[in-house]
A and B are shown apart, each in its own frame.
Chain A
Amino acid sequence: MDINYQFLEQTFYLVLAAVPTTLNLTVTSLLLSLPLAFFMALVRLRRTRYVSGFVGAYITLLRGTPIVLQILLIYSLLPSLLHALVGTLGWTINVFDWNPILYAYLVFTLNTTALLAEVFRSALGSIERGQMEAALCAGLTKVQAYVHILIPQALVTALPNICNVTVNLIKGTSLAFLMTVKDMTAVAKVAASYGYNYIEAYLDVFAGYIIICSIVQVLFVFAESHVGRFRLIKQK
C-alpha cells in the first residue's frame, strides 16, 4: 500500500501540536464535572424529594442519547439563544465571536457529569452505613466524615471506573471538530483535505490517541495503587 511517509511524518507533528487542545478539553471538563457529579450522586443516594427525580431524568437523558446528538443540539441552539438573550438585555457583546471551545466545555462537562454521577453513586453506595455513623460518633463533622472516611474508601472502587470515563472523554473530544474546535482530529482532517491524504492523517491521529490514552491509564494505575491503602480489610 503506498503511503505518503513524508506527509505522515509532517502531519504527526501537526497532530502533536494539537494535543494541548485535546488535553485542555479533557481536563477542564473533568474538573468541572467532578464536583457536580459528586453532588448529583449524593442527591440520588439521599433520594432528596423532586431533586432526585430531576437528576435521575438528567442522567437517563444524557446517557441515553449519543454525544454527537448532544453536540449538534447544543451547538445549534446555544449560540443563537445567547445572542437573542444578549440582544434583549441591550448588551453589545457579539456572542458569535466567542471561542467555540466554550460550547465544547459545556457539552463534555454535561455528558461526563452524568457518567461520573453514576460511578460515584455506586461507589458511595457500596460503603456501609456504619462507617458514617462511626465517624459521627467519633466526633467528626459530616464534611470531615466524607473527606477523611467515606471518599477515600469510595475511591478504591471508583477509580477504575473514573479511568474508563476519562478514556471515553478523551475519545469523545475527537468530536469537538463538529464545533469547529481545532483539536487533533480537526487538525488532521484539514491537513488531509489538501491532497486527499486521509489515511495518513487519521493514522497519525490514531497514534496520538493511543499515546495519550496510554499515559492516562498508567497515571490511573499509580493512583489506584496509592488509594489501595484505603481498602477495607474484611474481618472473617
Chain B
Amino acid sequence: MRPFAPEFILAVIPDLLPYLGVTMAVALGSIVAGSLFGTLLAWAKLSASTLLRRLAVAYTYAIRCTPPIVLLFIVFYGLPKFFLEVFNVNINSYDKIFFVVVSFTLLFAAPVSEVMRSAYQSIDRGQYEAAVSSGLSPWQAFYHIVLPQAAVIGLPNFGNSVLSLLKEGSLAYTVGLVDLIGRGQMIIAHHYGAYAIETYLALALFYLLLTLGVEKSFLQLERRYSRQKHNGEEAGYGY
C-alpha cells in the first residue's frame, strides 16, 4: 500500500479552488429559485383553496420521501424528454448545471415552504389586524409588520435547510457536473486512482469550512435580528 501523503492535501487545494465557484453557483442558484418556489408553495398551503393546499402538501411530502439522487436522475433524464414532447423544445444540449439547479430548486422548495408556513403562522393574527386597523394596507401590514417578525422566527430553520442543500449539492458530480467533487474525481483519475484519500480529505476540508462558515453567518444574523423579535410573554401581555 502506498504511504499516505499529507502534503498532497495542500498541493491539491489550488487545483480544486477554481471549482468552488461552480459548487457555490449551484447552491446560490438553487437557494434563490428554491426560495421563490417555496414562497409559492407556502402561499398555496395557506390559501383558501382546498385543491391548492392539498397539492402543495402532497408535493412537500413526496420530496421529503425522495432521495436527492433519485430526484436528480429523474430531472436529468426526464426533463429533456418532457420538454421535447410537451413544448417541442430540445434542451438536451443545455449545460449540466441547468439540470442540477432545477433538481435542487425542486428539492429546496419543499422544506423552505414548511419553514415559511410555520414562521408565518407563528405570528399572532392580531398583529396583522392591528396594523390594518391603524390604516396600513393589507400589503403594507404584511410587508412591514408580519414579514420582519416571521423572518426572524424562520431564520434558524432556513439556515438548516441551506446547510442540507449545500451538502446534498455534492451529488451533482454523479450526473457529470465538474464542481468541487467532480474536479476531485478528475484529479484522482489523472493519477490513475492514486491520491484518492488525500483528495477526498481536501474536499472534506472545503465542505467543512463552507458549512461552518454558513452556520456561523446564520447565528450572527439571528443574534442581530432577534432584538426585533416581539415577545409578548416578556413584555407582560399575559398569556
Contacts and interface: CB of A to CB of B under 8 A. Distances in A.
Kindly state the interface size class of chain A when it binds its partner.
35 or more
Q: Name which of A68, A81, A167, A172 has the most chain B CB atoms within 10 A of its CB.
A: A68
Interface string B198-239: 001101100110011000000000000000000000000000
Interface of A: 1-2, 60-61, 63-69, 72-73, 76-77, 80-81, 83-84, 167, 171-172, 174-175, 185, 198-199, 202-203, 205-206, 209-210, 212-214
Given A171-B65, A213-B65, 10 more contacts: A64-B211, A65-B208, A66-B171, A68-B173, A69-B204, A73-B201, A174-B69, A185-B67, A209-B70, A213-B64
Contact of A210 (B65, B167, B203): B65
A68 B1 contact: no
A69 B65 contact: no
Given A64-B208, A69-B207, A167-B65, A81 B1 contact: yes
Contacts of A84: 1
Majority-rule SS of B interface residues: helix
A1 B207 contact: no
Contact of B212 (A64, A66, A67, A172): A64
B170 A199 contact: no
Interface of B: 1, 62, 64-71, 73-74, 77-78, 81-82, 85-86, 167-171, 173, 181, 196-197, 200-201, 203-204, 207-208, 211-212
Contacts of A72: 181, 196, 200
B62 A210 contact: yes
Nearest to B82: A1
Contacts of A185: 67, 69-70
Contacts of B212: 60, 64
B91 to A, nearest CB: 14
Contact of A83 (B1, B74, B197): B1
Contacts of B70: 174, 185, 202, 205-206, 209
